[in-house]
Amino acid sequence: MQKTGKRRRREVNASLVLIALTVLLGTALTWLAITPNRTTRQTRDGSSIVPVPVGDLVLYRNPDLPIQQRVDDLISRMTLGEKLSQLVSNSPAIERLDIPKYNWWTEGLHGVKGPLAGASTTAFPQAIGMAATWDTDLIQRVADAIAEEARALHHFYARAGRRSKSTGLTLWAPNINIFRDPRWGRGQETYGEDPYLTSRLGVAYVRGLQGKDPRYLKTIATPKHFAVHSGPEVGRHGFNATANERDLRETYLPAFRACVIEGQAYSVMCAYNALNGSPCCGSERLLTKILRSEWGFEGCVVADCGAVDEMREDHGAVETEAAAAALATLSGCDLACYWGPHSAWRRAVEQGLLTETDIDRALERVLKVRFRLGLFDPLEIVPYAQIPEDVLDCRAHRNLALRTARESIVLLKNDAGTLPLSKTLRSIAVIGPNADDPGNALLGSYHSQPEHRVTPLEGIRSAVGSATEVSYAVGCPRVQVDQSESSTLMLEQNIAEAARLASRADIVILCLGLSTRDEGFEGTPGLEGEEMGTDVPGFSGGDRTDLRLPASQDRLLRALHSTGKPIVLVLLNGSALAVNWADRHCPAILEAWYPGQEGGTAIAEVLFGDYNPAGRLPITFYRSVDDLPPYPEYSMSGRTYRYFEGEVLYAFGHGLSYTQFQYSSLSIQPNRIQSGERIVVAVTVQNVGTRAGDEVVQLYLTDLEASAPVPIRSLQGFRRVHLEPGEQKHIVFELAPRQMSLINSDMQRVIEPGAFEVSVGGKQPGVRGSIDAASTEMAVGRFELWGEVLEVD
């Protein structure tokens, strides 16, 4: 296990003690801040003098009153300058009104990212790995644990008077953009390429973050980036995504709609890019007509950092900062993650571009967030304010991270029962640049800093007995940056040494893949991620230009294969890899993603059979970048399993097991319905193998007689179930009318009469590729809709 040692723990403890010593003073200051009798000052805004009442509890501090009444009261007491100060992410304190400083920026993608010194928080698997679990209940539990840690951090530091970035309760997650192209470096932050899977996991994550209390929200979820945002990273601040209405409604918007309507997300982040010529943070259609009018969103819209001024600077939509501020506010953006002061909004008011009523409307939404969090109420009546600091990176959360990592691992290939391995092997060679990196090859982007981490090498060493020799070599860097003769010679020497190590072992466990930064390997750049400076063969600016493994890793793989020893390939990465050669020559391949702090343990448990893998791919693994449309094009034609007609390496929904499952008794009731009615699909799944294991039951729907372009097939239901050997379960899905709808030639959502095909099984139906024969069988049936065309929405 990766340990920082006694010295690190002493430093952590000392830091916590120093912070705790300030709690008493912070508590006293907090008591003064909530005592209305102490304020007799007045503040001046222009020529207006605004008195502050004394005596009885002011209305906005009365927790027994409705939030709307409290917000209205507070706004009525604020000067224009005070109002404007609260519309930026680093909102200053307003002492005369007892409003403390608040920083809105806290990342919670798969753990609370970047807390202040002295705090360790749990690092769960990266979002793409969580998507591979296909387990909504688990993902909601993960989000709930992250919210617990965010609450504990917030109140701990608030008591000490520290309210900086990453200590707030407004979490800028989940990222529910569609991973439409595997070249996008931030695709690892998403739940994959499918709108239905992304919707279900997104709703679960939002519910977990926000909690179940009827009065207070645990934290605030902020689905992002609204909308149609998925690269390129280079030039993203001024990029214009062009998408037709059909793709918008059938691919790019459904997850946001679900998170708002079903998940009741109380915040949304608008994106940097423009959509069809209109910057997203200045799009009245997106932020007002669709988000608020169509979906009934009542929360706060926050702009991505710097996005407001970039409407001027990068998009050229307006000429001045004031005009940019006005465009954002009038379009429905309430809060700016802004690098500068709020002076642009003041100038907008002075120039007549905004009225104070416009400011009040945005401020009302912003303040409601803080009231829903209980930040204006006594701590003793806010249930989540009592969460203790010992939940941070606690044993229960580490166990949850381990379970999530286990469920995320996808067994891509397993010829002749190569896996699971015996724990009594004489010798194992663990090789590769991702085998013992405790940094971003393990954790992925936007990660926290857990004190406890387990790399694949450490997990393997802990799993086997003392009689098994486990040797290790890096073998090569993830990518060869320096192409000089001396660097190439060193690479050859390292590969040769790794091959000698492999030749003496019974089996080779080869850990390859990508990373998001240069932790662990000095001089090696991060390969995929957000707007990075990477410019090496196959990678550019955080995005990828090639789907293959970097050349240095490919050379290592081929050299090890030449030894004749069997290779189990373990991939750690955040996007699809075209490992075509490995698929032909390695008997077993695991996809482990960026598995989080417990990733090494989970990988070892799968390798040695302590856990039966059941993860499923949330993305398509293509054979070549040549199979893809041009990266900047946002048309869905030819993209993802829903529209791609070629042969793939590993299909969306693919994943093998150490046992076998059988499907039977498919029932579709009724099999002929009128447009607008629901339908029930049921199937029996049985474990016909000798090991207990999970199966991911997947339901796909195909419209056989559509009058307009529709997907080849679409995921419309899934369920992860556990089955003991011989056990069977009856799985029931209900399809709502909207799931049978399409966007017609008039760009209206309608339900048409016609025939539909239903396919249920442990994989995607109709896939051509090397893995098809190894996949489980499908149960297939049909039903028919009759009646008139029915308009939806």
The catalytic residues are: 304, 528
Which H or E run contains 155?
helix 136-159
Say which DSSP state 238 is in.
G
User: Measuring CA to CA, which residue among 567, 539, 623 is closest to residue 413?
Assistant: 567
Q: What is the DSSP annotation of 521-563? A: STTPPP-SSSS---EETTEETTEES--SPPHHHHHHHHHHHTT
Structure token digits, residue 282:
């200045």
Best CA proximity match to 577, nearest among 633, 543, 625, 525 = 625
Q: Do residues 660 and 689 touch, judged by C-beta distance below 8 A?
A: yes
161: left (phi over 0), alpha (psi -120 to 50) or beta: left
Could you give the CA distance from residue 512 to residue 436 in angstroms, rounded to a whole number?
11
Contact in structure between 211 and 263 (CB atoms under 8 Å): no
Q: Is there a contact between 549 and 573 (Cβ–Cβ < 8 Å)?
A: no
Q: Facing residues of 702 across strands? A: 757
The helix (run of H) or strand (run of E) holding residue 577 is: none
Dihedral in degrees, nearest 10, Cα atoms 607, 609, 611, 613: 60
Which residue type sits at 134? W
Q: How many whole angstroms separate alpha carbon 440 and alpha carbon 419?
A: 27
Q: What angle do CA 334, 93, 152 make, to 5 degrees?
A: 85
Q: How far apart are CA 194 and CA 251, in angstroms?
A: 8
Count other Cβ atoms within 10 Å, centred on residue 149: 26
506 and 495 in contact (C-beta within 8 Å)? no
Q: Which residues make beta-bridge pairs with 414?
A: 588
Q: For residue 54, count CB atoms less than 10 angstroms from its CB and return exposed for 0-12, middle for 13-18, buried for 19 or more.
A: exposed
> CA 565, CA 96: separation in Å to the nearest integer?
73
Cα separation, 143 vs 207, whole angstroms? 8
CB atoms inside a 10 Å sphere around CB 220: 28
β-pair partners for 175 = 224
Our CA dihedral for 586, 588, 594, 599, rounded to 10 degrees, sits at -130
Q: Please name the residues in contact with 463: beta carbons below 8 A apart, sequence gap of 6 or more.
A: 423, 604, 605, 607, 608, 610
d(CA 286, CA 305): 18
CA angle 368, 371, 377 (to 5 degrees): 165
CA distance linking residue 296 with residue 288, whole number of Å: 10
Task: Find the helix packing angle between 599-607 and 395-408, rounded to 10°.
Answer: 50
Contact 403, 599 (CB under 8 A): no
558, 563, 565, 571 alpha-carbon torsion, rounded to 10°: -20
What 377-381 contacts at long range (C-beta under 8 Å, 24+ apart), as own/partner pairs, is: 377/63, 378/34, 378/63, 379/155, 381/63
Q: What letter represents residue 420's amino acid?
A: P
- Can you tell me the distance from the alpha carbon of 80 to that of 92, in angstroms, rounded to the nearest whole number? 14
CA atoms within 13 A on the CB side of 535: 2
Contact 723, 685 (CB under 8 A): yes
Which amino acid makes up residue 410? V
Q: Which of 344, 333, 327 is nearest to 288 (CA)?
A: 333
